[in-house]
């Protein structure tokens, strides 16, 4: 027998990929018996619809054409105390899960998860619980472990800025002009960063920067 949530529960879907949004809509209507009151594809649309409809649940994609789904929570959550939030994402970065928790988001499911997990997340969240899928929970544990080990925590603010620029593809000359220092200083800072992080290869620095939220994964 298919589990069903409260048929009176009202839902808003905010997802810019039409096929994904339509498939989720079919699931929540036909399998969970929810009432779909809004479908959106941008931060601006999603914020407006959530404020207008005051849904019981909003399922939100983390990355949208005009910004991040988290922007909707920041703009609307304080005005929607009864709305619960479930985020989905294809970006598997530790800092995303930590940010979701800090914003009070009730659930997080990675898009490579099985559909069964999404159904479970919806059901549990509407029942007043929280649900973070196993993979997102693993990312959180890894983030806490990295923090506890102190890896990268001793980077100076200037070193972090250089790491951010390096991961974005800026060369030493461009970073030197932007930060108003010499290219030699940039190269020295990069050498210090490599030593502190224990990363000798450029690709390793880029992976570290993406993993820890210095830049967003493309």
Average pLDDT on 26-53 reads 96
The radius of gyration of the chain from alpha carbons, rounded to an integer in Å, stands at: 20
pLDDT over 50 (residue 4): no
As given in the structure block, the two tokens for residue 174 are: 């461009």
Q: What pLDDT score does 218 carry?
A: 46
Of 113, 107, 151, 120, which is closest to residue 20 (Cα–Cα)? 113
**Domains in the chain, CATH or no CATH each:** 10-145 (3.40.50.2300), 157-211 (1.10.10)
Q: What pLDDT score does 101 carry?
A: 87
Q: What is the pLDDT of residues 151-166, one digit of tens each?
A: 555 678 788 889 888 8
Q: What is the pLDDT of residues 52-86, one digit of tens each?
A: 999 999 999 999 999 999 999 999 999 999 999 99
Query: How far apart, in whole angstroms, are the C-alpha atoms of residue 31 and residue 39?
Result: 18
Side-by-side strand order, sheet with 10-14: 35-40, 10-14, 57-61, 84-89, 107-110, 131-132
* Residue of higher predicted confidence among 87 and 147: 87
- What integer best gives the mean pLDDT of the chain? 86
C-alpha neighbours within 13 Å on the C-beta side of residue 200: 0
């Amino acid at each position: 027998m298919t589990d069903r949530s409260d048929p009176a529960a009202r839902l808003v879907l905010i997802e810019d990929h039409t096929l994904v949004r339509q498939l989720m809509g079919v699931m929540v209507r036909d399998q969970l018996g929810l009432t779909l009151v809004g479908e959106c594809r941008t931060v601006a649309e999603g914020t407006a619809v959530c404020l207008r409809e005051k849904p019981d649940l909003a399922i939100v994609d983390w990355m949208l054409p005009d910004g991040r789904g988290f922007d909707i929570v920041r703009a609307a959550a304080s005005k929607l105390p009864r709305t619960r939030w479930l985020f989905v994402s294809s970006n598997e970065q530790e800092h995303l899960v930590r940010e979701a928790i800090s914003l009070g988001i009730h659930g997080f499911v990675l898009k490579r998860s099985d559909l069964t997990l999404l159904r479970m997340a919806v059901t549990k969240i509407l029942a007043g619980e929280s649900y973070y899928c196993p993979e997102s929970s693993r990312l959180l544990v890894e983030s806490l472990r990295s923090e506890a080990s102190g890896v990268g925590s001793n980077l100076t603010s200037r070193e972090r800025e250089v790491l951010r620029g390096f991961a974005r593809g800026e060369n030493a000359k461009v970073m030197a002009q932007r930060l108003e220092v010499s290219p030699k200083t940039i190269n020295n800072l990069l050498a210090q960063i490599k030593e502190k992080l224990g990363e000798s290869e450029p690709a390793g620095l880029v992976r570290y920067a993406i993993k820890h939220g210095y830049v967003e994964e493309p």
